Amino acid sequence: MAELEAIVERLEHGDLPLEESLKQFERGVELTRSCQAALKQAERKVQILSAKPGAEPELADFGPDESD
């Protein structure tokens, strides 16, 4: 995620040559896809962990951490 944020910042400044901008954009797309896949996997784990025995798994919302 930090690498993706750094790429966005570099691209927003606009001082990179076109070829480098395209390379950075492609890397950003790769990182975005990787992050989306990790998020989808985490959502599936939450579904499994929050499922009641014999019930259909469903997404559970996370509220504010009450331990703070």
User: What is the chain's pLDDT, residue by residue, as a tens digit (68 residues)?
Assistant: 899 999 999 999 989 999 999 999 999 999 999 999 999 999 988 888 877 777 666 666 666 654 44
Query: What separation in angstroms does the CA of 2 have from each of 19, 32, 37?
Result: 22, 11, 16
pLDDT of residue 44: 87
pTM score, whole prediction: 0.64
pLDDT of residue 59: 64
Task: State the Cα–Cα distance between residues 25 and 4, nearest whole angstrom.
Answer: 10
